[in-house]
Amino acid sequence: MNAPVATTCPYCGVGCGVLVTRGEAGVTVAGDTTHPANLGRLCSKGAALGETVDLPDRLSVPLSRSAEGTLVPTDWDSALDRIATAIRQTVAEHGPEAIGLYVSGQILTEDYYIANKLMKGFLGSANIDTNSRLCMSSAVAAYHRAFGSDTVPVSYEDVEQADLVILVGSNLAYAHPVLFQRLSAAKAERPAMRIIVIDPRATATASIADQHLAIAPGSDALLFNALLVAIDQTGAVNEAFIQQSVDGFEEARASAWAEAADLDRVAERTGLTTAQLTDFFAAFIRTERTVTLWSQGLNQSASGTDKGNALINCHLATGRVGKPGCGPFSITGQPNAMGGREVGGLANMLAAHQGFTPENIDRMRRFWGSDTVATAPGLKAVDLFAAAAEGKIRFLWIIATNPAFSLPDSHRVRAALARCPFVVLSECVGSTDTAAYADLLLPATGWGERDGTVTNSERRISRQRAFLPPHGQSRHDWQVLCDVATRLGFGSAFAFEHASDVFREYAALTAFENAGSRDLDLGGFRQLDRAAYDALPPTRWPIHADGSQPEPFADGRFFTANRRARMIPIRAQSAASALTIAMPLRLNTGRLRDQWHGMSRTGAVAKLFAHEQEPTLRTHPQDAARFKLRGHQLARVRNRQGQLLARVVLDDGQRPGSLFAPMHWSDGFSRDGLVNALIAPRLDPVSGQPEFKTEAVWVEPYPAAWYGLVLLRHDAVCPPFSTAPGDYAARVTRPAGLLLHLAGTEPPAAAISALSDWLRHSNPASPDEEILAFADPASGRYRQAWLRGGALFALCAITPDSRAPDTDWLTELLGQGVLSAGDRGDLLAGKRAGAADRGPVICACFSVGKQTLLDVLAEHPAADVATLGACTQAGTNCGACIPELKALLAAHAVAASVTDAPSAQGA
């Protein structure tokens, strides 16, 4: 058993510390109780990290696409020579602006720094952008307009110390579960703490709210303008702070009054009541220690920067910035989105939070010793791929991200990738949507193999430390970039031997000619040797050369030219896409609790599918009735961009007129489940961030004639989704194999035959094979079970309705070995004799279903969350299911009160 290695979780921007131990049984992961971000807590994804170190389809060697279109192994020298040659030819024929790099908040700061240095410093083009453009670039722009810098002025401790926490467009319980756990614990310790959730949906986060404001989509800026009016009306403006530290107050106030003075009109446009508005305004005005936390609900908007500034305006007007327990807090989505912002990963910034001013460009030239530093911002993410579609980008290097899945208007992005003459993809796995378009696939090291730093949402730098050797021939991204730079003739500027060398240069750059003029200063690390780097504890910046760590803005000074903050006059915009008779509903996209991005990592863990197995469409019952949708059946969502097939979930927490679909269903896990195929590329004019929350769509029932289920043992071969019978397909990882959900419109008898042929093509008959078959043409029900050596090898079932057999029971049979006579009979019957249904899974960690919990409540009517945990273990590990446990308890209490109420006759 090796000693535990302290490293950092590779998922969200909370930046949790984890302790990893390698032993004979594999890798064990636990929360690091000494890490200040999580203090030992983990979410369901983090708790399952040990099950993701051996990902399927890991890239082991570089792959090159042949003239015939197939990927064949090549060696590193050939691959790197080919990249260098392609870059030289592209620059010679089309100039450096024909080169593009698209990187990711998944890579480490050291990788980011080298990518930015090569592109902006030596190739002379700023056409490097990051997938973080899609999640937090509007917050960056809002901070920069207000403070003159991209400075997040809030810590997690401030959230816990606040007397009022306002969450705007943030389902913290799902997207940042550990911070949600910290907030929940703070609320339990100080019940007087008030929590307000502003979100069109009643999400799991709203379960701890004192007030939930189900705001009309897109009306956030109007709400905060109205709050600014109320602040002004009640005399709550901090006049001393404004006079000392803020410009633009009069202009911002005038703009707010011009459109938000009429409270009835604000109520009408926000969809809230005047009572809700006045309660919210009063809570903000009377509470000095207020943190307003926002995320994608504000940022992912065609006016996301303005929304962020409308929110920040209210904090500036009341002087609630730079003080303990208060401030405007944008929480980032990815583990190193903040690190990318620091080193220039965004196309409109130079490294170390420097913009493209003549002074900064000159500073970068002198620091890097290069005369070819880019002199103007480059193409932002969506524009970068649009340029590829137009033939302007001729060489595109994509690192640790999947733009064919994640960018809006996905079909157009795929066409752009297909047109681009040379596409390089550096990745851990070879099965992402984007890999299909790569001319070169480079195997990158994955989590557990990488060594470097990340910065979380509260500006805390943490170490990711390797506890595994690189897989196959995989290499660190910074090393690959340095080798290409050397081949291009820039070797002396990229002669780094270790990640610590890269970090030390980056730290020195932040302090170079700084003298307090820039927010980002890591001068205290500029002479960090390798031993100190290896031992680096989690540290929030700034950290000056003298070791001091002042809290930004505590002195009332900002990073604008005159050191005063700026309030920005905001005119609220309507939702980006207009509703029409043809497109009467708004589609909102977002995260699931237990999955991450395109599921290339979390999709390998069976228990992380327990909560949701398929693409879903959450719909208010009123809309379901209006559009003839039925729960658990399939719906087709469509517009001019594309279509989505998803399972209908009826949800009273949805705002009528709005639909919600998770964004995780990439090509590897679904067919026609790609929600971003419906999203038009409407961009914020300041930040370039796309709108993902208010797309206009139509919805209709999918006319399924049959629903199918396929179960395959781990040694069976699953043919590609693209060739499966029917229109709908979703793939689920199970402990002993694979589960597929299918649906189509052809007759059920034809479907079972096509399904059998589809599986047989990849799994020829075995000498020890036995087939059990059931057919009921009158009802449209068919089942086939393939046994090999007496054990279940594959099963396919067709039903005319959406209620499938018990997949948990079938999965148990899949891993059981030789089946008994009773098991065989149950397979033919389609259900286990005498089995109780546990219901949909609520606790993924321990696979606890809803019915199991209801059974506990039947036995213990006064149960609370602790009782449910004691009886079933639900909620006792990561805690991500606690909001749903509370909702179940609340619903049970309501049902019990109705049952116990005396009838009118007997009263």
Q: Which helix (DSSP H) or strand (DSSP E) does residue 173 occupy?
A: helix 172-175
CA dist list (Å): 146 to 46, 394, 901: 35, 37, 56
Share of the chain above pLDDT 70, in %: 98
pLDDT on residue 39: 98
Residue 904: pLDDT band by 50, 70, 90 thresholds?
very low
Q: Which helix (DSSP H) or strand (DSSP E) does residue 239 occupy?
A: helix 239-245
Average of pLDDT values for 309-334? 97
**Amino acid at position 165, single letter:** V
CA dist list (Å): 119 to 375, 388, 443, 480, 793: 12, 17, 21, 14, 51
Question: If you ran DSSP here, which 8-state letter would residue 792 be given?
Answer: E
- CA 297 from chain centre, in angstroms, equals 12
pLDDT on residue 834: 64
pLDDT on residue 906: 43
Residue 377 contacts residue 348 (beta carbons within 8 Å): yes
Tokens of 16: 């949790």
Q: Is the pLDDT of residue 298 over 80?
A: yes
Q: 785-812, pLDDT tens digit by residue?
A: 999 999 999 999 999 988 767 888 888 8
Average of pLDDT values for 814-842? 81
Q: How far apart are CA 684 and CA 304, in angstroms?
A: 6
Phi–psi pair at 181, nearest 5 degrees: -60, -40
Helices (H) and strands (E) in the chain, counts: 29, 35
Q: 230-273, pLDDT tens digit by residue?
A: 999 999 999 999 999 999 999 999 999 999 999 999 999 999 99
The residue assigned the tokens 């639909």 is 659
Q: 834-865, pLDDT tens digit by residue?
A: 666 667 778 877 778 888 888 888 888 878 88
Average of pLDDT values for 29-53? 97
pLDDT on residue 833: 75
Tell me how crowded residue 586 is: count the other CB atoms within 10 A of its CB: 23
What is the dihedral sign for C-alpha 65, 68, 73, 74?
Answer: negative
**Cα angle: 391, vertex 394, 396; to 5 degrees:** 120
Tell me how crowded residue 842 is: count the other CB atoms within 10 A of its CB: 28
Average of pLDDT values for 591-615? 94
Q: Is the pLDDT of residue 423 over 70?
A: yes
pLDDT on residue 899: 61
Q: How far apart are CA 149 and CA 143, in angstroms?
A: 6
**Amino acid at position 701, single letter:** P
Give the torsion through C-alpha atoms of 29, 667, 669, 130, to 10 deg: 30
Cα–Cα nearest to 737, from 802, 673, 797, 813 = 813
The residue assigned the tokens 């047109």 is 419
Cα–Cα nearest to 179, from 411, 460, 410 = 460
The residue assigned the tokens 């479907």 is 751
Residue 901: pLDDT band by 50, 70, 90 thresholds?
low
pTM: 0.94
Q: Is the pLDDT of residue 903 over 70?
A: no
Q: How far apart are CA 108 and CA 682, in angstroms?
A: 29
Please report the DSSP string for 823-876 in residue order.
HHHHHHHTS-TTPPP--SEEETTTTEEHHHHHHHHHH-TT--HHHHHHHH-TTS
Instruction: Considering only residues 882 and 148, tell me which one the structure prediction assigns the higher pLDDT.
Output: 148
Q: How far apart are CA 336 and CA 457, in angstroms?
A: 9
> E-assigned strands of 280-323?
290-294
> E-assigned strands of 735-790?
737-744, 769-776, 781-788
Q: How far apart are CA 717 and CA 737, in angstroms?
A: 10
CA dist list (Å): 234 to 221, 262, 637, 766: 20, 15, 46, 81
Residue 644 contacts residue 674 (beta carbons within 8 Å): yes
Q: How far apart are CA 102 and CA 425, in angstroms?
A: 10
Peptide bond into 542 cis (omega under 30): yes
Q: Is the pLDDT of residue 214 over 70?
A: yes
Q: 713-736, pLDDT tens digit by residue?
A: 999 999 988 899 999 999 999 999
Residue 195 contacts residue 159 (beta carbons within 8 Å): no
pLDDT on residue 31: 98
The residue assigned the tokens 């999640």 is 135
Lowest model confidence (mean pLDDT) among 73-77, 503-507, 851-855 = 851-855
Contacts of 358 (CB under 8 A, 6+ apart): none
Cα–Cα nearest to 7, from 31, 41, 42 = 31
Residue 1: pLDDT band by 50, 70, 90 thresholds?
low
**Amino acid at position 542, single letter:** P
pLDDT on residue 835: 60
- CA 468 from chain centre, in angstroms, equals 26
pLDDT on residue 166: 98
Residue 211 contacts residue 205 (beta carbons within 8 Å): no
Q: For the purposes of burial, counting CB atoms within 10 Å of the CB of 390, is it exposed (0-12), middle (13-18) or buried (19 or more)?
A: exposed
- CA 763 from chain centre, in angstroms, equals 36
Please report the DSSP string for 143-178 in residue order.
HHHHHSS------HHHHHH-SEEEEES--HHHHSHH
Q: 552-580, pLDDT tens digit by residue?
A: 999 999 999 999 999 999 999 888 788 99
Residue 880: pLDDT band by 50, 70, 90 thresholds?
confident
Beta-sheet pairing, 440-443 with 63-65: antiparallel
Phi–psi pair at 866, nearest 5 degrees: -65, -40
Mean pLDDT over each residue of the chain, to the nearest integer:
94
Q: 682-706, pLDDT tens digit by residue?
A: 999 999 999 999 999 999 999 999 9
Residue 633: pLDDT band by 50, 70, 90 thresholds?
very high
Lowest model confidence (mean pLDDT) among 209-218, 467-476, 721-730 = 721-730
Average of pLDDT values for 322-350? 97
**Amino acid at position 126, single letter:** A
Lowest model confidence (mean pLDDT) among 316-325, 440-449, 642-651, 889-898 = 889-898
Q: Give 570's Cβ-side CA count (13 Å radius).
A: 34
Lowest model confidence (mean pLDDT) among 615-619, 861-865, 898-902 = 898-902
Tokens of 181: 């756990």
What is the dihedral sign for C-alpha 73, 75, 80, 86?
Answer: negative
Q: Which residues face 197 on adjacent strands?
A: 167, 212
Please report the DSSP string for 663-722 in residue order.
S---TTTEES--GGGG----B-TTT-PBP-S-EEEEEEE---SEEEEEEEETTSPPPPGG
Tell me how crowded residue 62 is: count the other CB atoms within 10 A of its CB: 25
